């Protein structure tokens, strides 16, 4: 696959899905494309993408594939409790919310702390945002959520566990980091295991966007394998940085 073919595929994805994949890790994008057109000539695959939205959506999903679960890295949530700003009303932004597990995990913590809050949870995928809003999860979540929390925050159904009493404080919406405006007046941003999807030369742009989103001394939280190397933030814990 040459550069011109890659550019054409990225243009098709942008037009049909609304995501500018040029900012994503090039190797990951090429790997996903290669797996999808393994039995086709690249030019033939491009022609199919132009007329088959199912192929486009499948390719986009391959590039965006991620692992999510409730209370991923439980120690992070325990540490976050110690650093949550003391304010009458708190606004959180969960970036790359996928199917909602992280946003609901955060909401559970905030409910237990008795906080007055609003969570804005965003993702580039409309399908994921819809799933997150529905808030229905399989029986496997019992390995990540205590019995007490399951009883308080979920309803057992024939199809799994349905979130209850949390969605009124959460807004799920689509948002593209490189094209949409920053979400403003935020106290804490959770952007965990999202930066790893992007090329490093885009990081400064994202740091600037997060900086403009955060209120004074607001917090930016990232994944365990991610580090914020920017003069805009100071490290306060392993995965937590404060706006300077």
* Domain locations along the chain: 3-64, 74-243
Give the largest Cα separation in the chain, rounded.
59
- Distance CA(110)–CA(117), nearest Å, equals 8
- 67-113 pLDDT, tens digit per residue, is 688 999 899 999 999 999 989 999 999 999 999 999 999 999 999 99
What φ, ψ does residue 178 adopt, rounded to 5°?
A: -95, -5
Tens digits of per-residue pLDDT, 193-237?
888 778 788 889 999 999 999 999 999 999 887 889 999 999 999
Long-range (24+ apart) CB contacts under 8 A made by 178-181 are 178/20, 178/23, 178/202, 178/205, 179/18, 179/20
Say how far apart CA 210 and CA 83 lie, in whole Å. 18
Fold classification of 74-243 (topology level): Rossmann fold (3.40.50)
> What is the model's pTM?
0.81
| Other beta carbons less than 10 A from residue 143's beta carbon | 8
Question: What percent of the chain lies above the pLDDT cut of 70?
Answer: 98
The total number of residues written for the chain in this structure: 244
């Amino acid at each position: 696959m040459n550069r011109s073919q890659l550019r054409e595929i990225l243009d098709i994805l942008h037009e049909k899905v609304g995501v500018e994949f040029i900012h994503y890790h090039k190797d990951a994008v090429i790997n996903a494309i290669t797996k999808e057109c393994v039995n086709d000539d690249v030019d033939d695959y491009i022609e199919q993408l132009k007329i088959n939205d199912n192929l486009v959506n499948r390719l986009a999903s391959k590039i965006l594939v991620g692992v999510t679960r409730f209370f991923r890295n439980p120690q992070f949530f325990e540490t976050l409790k110690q650093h949550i700003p003391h304010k009458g009303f708190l606004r959180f932004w969960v970036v790359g919310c996928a199917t909602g597990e992280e946003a609901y995990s955060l909401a559970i913590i905030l409910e237990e702390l008795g906080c007055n809050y609003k969570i804005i949870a965003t993702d580039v995928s409309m399908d994921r945002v819809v799933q997150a809003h529905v808030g229905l999860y399989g029986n496997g979540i019992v390995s990540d959520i205590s019995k007490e929390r399951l009883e308080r925050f979920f309803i057992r159904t024939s199809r799994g566990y349905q979130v209850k009493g949390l969605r009124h404080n959460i807004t799920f919406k689509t948002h593209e980091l490189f094209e949409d405006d920053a979400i403003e007046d935020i106290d804490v941003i959770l952007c965990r295991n999202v930066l790893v999807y992007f090329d490093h030369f885009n990081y400064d742009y994202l740091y600037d966007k997060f900086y403009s989103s955060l209120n004074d001394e607001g917090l930016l939280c990232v994944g365990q394998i991610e580090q914020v190397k920017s003069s805009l933030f100071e490290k306060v814990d392993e995965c937590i940085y404060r706006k300077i």
